[in-house]
Amino acid sequence: MPVPKNKSKAAAPSASALAGMMEIPTSDLVDPKPRIVARPNWPFFLRHWPEAWDIGTEGLDKPTWLPQVVQHIMRPGAGGMRTLKKGMNPADVYFNAKRDAEREGWIYVELNEVVPADCLPPGVPEGPYFRAVACRDKKTGTLGKHYVEAWEVPVASAANRKQKFQYDRAGYNRWRASLVTRGLIPGITEDVRQALIYGAENRLGRVEVLNFSNDNVRDRRVDAQAKETAVYSEAVKLEEAAA
């Protein structure tokens, strides 16, 4: 009589270290996250050059000298940023370029600097000037992030059409003014102020003597330059009255 073989029990499977990544799918298996139709872009810093100023009125009680603030795109290989090589930390590339620009005289607003609540558009949560919106490139279908300033608010757009944005110029002007009042950017110097006033007056004089083939074009150009000069003159009067 044959002796039955003993059947060994199968070993219990050990837990995989990656098992925790197995999430329950959502009803939208393609991409559950709401996304705007826009091309993924590069993050940025905001920075100011000491001689770059303009006069703002929107959102302010009176014409005010405001520091011009521009984006420094964090794109490796461009804008003073080194090309990323194997093993390099992108953060090091970004901040090395920032350090080099600061040595040249640029003044940066730090990424973690919180924007005052009265300078933000309605509905935008408290936080820094640097924001990201989940996006999808219409042409390639690439998913990513579209980086914007806190005042660049997405608004309702037609389905599958390029996303439209509304810029809150009043809040942006108040924020630029606050950079000076909070000591993050030094105020305008007298020599820079005089140079800008002279430049506005000089541009008006050049426009007035130019020959235009169309009188309407000439009138519009003169009117636009006259308005700029008038704003500068008004700011000067207010400064003299306050002195």
For residues 105 and 121, is the Cβ–Cβ distance under 8 A?
A: no
Give me 90's structure tokens. Answer: 């992108």
Residue-wise pLDDT for 176-189, tens only, equals 999 999 999 999 99
pLDDT of residue 12 exceeding 90, the answer is no
Strand-pair category, 130-136 with 36-37: parallel
pLDDT of residue 13 exceeding 90, the answer is no
Q: Which residues does 90 contact at the CB level (< 8 Å), separation at least 6?
A: 76, 84
Question: pTM of the full predicted structure?
Answer: 0.73
Q: Which residues does 163 contact at the CB level (< 8 Å), separation at least 6?
A: 36, 37, 38, 135, 146, 154, 157
Q: How far apart are the first and last CA of the chain?
A: 118
Q: Coil, strand or helix: which one is 21?
A: helix
Give the pLDDT band of residue 240 (cuts 50, 70, 90). low
Give the pLDDT band of residue 174 (cuts 50, 70, 90). very high
For residues 108 and 46, is the Cβ–Cβ distance under 8 A?
A: yes
pLDDT of residue 45 exceeding 70, the answer is yes
pLDDT of residue 144 exceeding 70, the answer is yes
Greatest distance between any 2 Cα atoms in the chain: 122
Mean pLDDT of the chain: 79
Region 142-155 average pLDDT: 92
Residue 120 has what pLDDT? Answer: 94
Which alpha helices (H) appear in the chain, and where do they start and end? 90-104, 169-181, 190-209, 215-242
Residue 199 has what pLDDT? Answer: 77
Region 128-141 average pLDDT: 91
For residues 180 and 205, is the Cβ–Cβ distance under 8 A?
A: no
Backbone φ and ψ of 206, nearest 5°? -70, -40
Q: How many percent of the chain have pLDDT more than 70?
A: 65
Residue-wise pLDDT for 54-102, tens only, equals 988 899 998 899 999 999 988 776 666 667 677 667 677 788 888 889 9
pLDDT of residue 107 exceeding 70, the answer is yes
Residue-wise pLDDT for 177-230, tens only, equals 999 999 999 999 999 988 888 877 776 665 555 554 555 555 565 566 566 666
How far apart (Å, rounded) are the C-alpha atoms in residues 106 and 53?
13
Q: Which of 25-29, 36-40, 78-82, 216-220 has the lowest mean pLDDT?
A: 25-29
Region 134-161 average pLDDT: 88
* CA-closest candidate to residue 146, choices 157, 3, 14: 157
* CA-closest candidate to residue 111, choices 95, 99, 128: 128
Helix (H) or strand (E) holding 119: none
Residue 32 has what pLDDT? Answer: 59
For residues 65 and 77, is the Cβ–Cβ distance under 8 A?
A: no
Interhelix angle 215-242/190-209, rounded to 10 degrees, is 160
pLDDT of residue 173 exceeding 90, the answer is yes
DSSP 159: T
